[in-house]
């Protein structure tokens, strides 16, 4: 057992105390999801392994929780394009220099979970969520802190994460809204990709 016995008062997350971070999580994410706690530790660990003061973009390999931890703690958001969510289904993130592609990847190391039964149960969904004990998981997460992650040096293929330009915009003949001409004769929404089972102008 590599119990480091880090108390939550000793944990800092990108310069904030653990409790300050938890308040930010509540305000932004709506509730304290365990994934947000792990995510805070991961972003902090990434910064500790990067040169100080650089400009870093982010890649997140899961849609669950982790993108919000990145958006709270870094200048990178989905909206400004500095955070790309590439759903590989792995609880992992990378922060990298946006000009050179050099960076670090932090991931949950399945080899390191055996000492942490609650954490392992969470990441591998070994029990239905209802049966997982939130408090036990969070206190174990704080004890485990960054010991369950591993770090890789990475070089990002910048071309593959470049924001695709929308090109020429035209008006869709079906819905009358603007869309990128490259998407086809009508917009993707009218091609059946919109998720609405019903859509109409309300009669007031």
Which residues of the chain form contacts with Zn ion (CB under 5 A)? Answer: 172, 174-175, 187, 190
- Least gap, CB of 163 to Zn ion (angstroms): 23
Shorter beta-carbon distance to Zn ion: residue 128 or 176: 176
Shorter beta-carbon distance to Zn ion: residue 141 or 187: 187
- Least gap, CB of 183 to Zn ion (angstroms): 9
Shorter beta-carbon distance to Zn ion: residue 128 or 195: 195
- Least gap, CB of 198 to Zn ion (angstroms): 16
End-to-end CA distance of the chain: 66
Shorter beta-carbon distance to Zn ion: residue 15 or 178: 178
Angle CA 22–38–75, to nearest 5: 70
Shorter beta-carbon distance to Zn ion: residue 199 or 204: 199
Where are the strands (E) in 54-193, listed by range?
56-60, 83-85, 92-97, 102-108, 149-155, 169-171, 178-180
- Least gap, CB of 173 to Zn ion (angstroms): 8
Rounded to whole angstroms, the Cα distance separating 48 from 41 reads 11
Where are the strands (E) in the chain, listed by range?
12-13, 16-17, 56-60, 83-85, 92-97, 102-108, 149-155, 169-171, 178-180
- Least gap, CB of 78 to Zn ion (angstroms): 24
The residue whose two tokens read 């500790």 is 48
């Amino acid at each position: 057992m590599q119990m480091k016995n880090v108390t939550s008062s000793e944990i800092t997350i990108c310069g904030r105390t653990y409790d300050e971070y938890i308040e930010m999580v509540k305000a932004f994410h709506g509730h304290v999801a365990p994934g947000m706690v792990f995510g805070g530790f991961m972003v902090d660990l990434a910064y500790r392994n990067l040169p100080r003061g650089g400009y870093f973009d982010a890649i997140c390999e899961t849609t669950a929780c982790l993108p919000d931890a990145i958006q709270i703690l870094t200048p990178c958001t989905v909206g400004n394009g500095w955070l790309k969510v590439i759903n590989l289904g792995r609880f992992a993130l990378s922060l990298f220099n946006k000009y050179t592609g050099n960076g670090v990847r932090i991931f949950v190391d399945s080899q390191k979970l055996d000492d942490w039964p609650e954490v392992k149960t969470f990441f591998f969904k070994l029990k239905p969520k209802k049966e997982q004990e939130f408090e036990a998981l969070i206190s174990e997460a704080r004890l485990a802190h960054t010991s369950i992650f591993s770090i890789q040096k990475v070089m990002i293929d910048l071309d593959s994460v470049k924001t695709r330009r929308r090109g020429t915009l035209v008006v869709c003949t079906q819905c009358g809204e603007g869309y990128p001409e490259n998407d086809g004769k009508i917009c993707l929404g009218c091609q059946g990709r919109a998720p609405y089972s019903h859509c109409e102008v309300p009669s007031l």
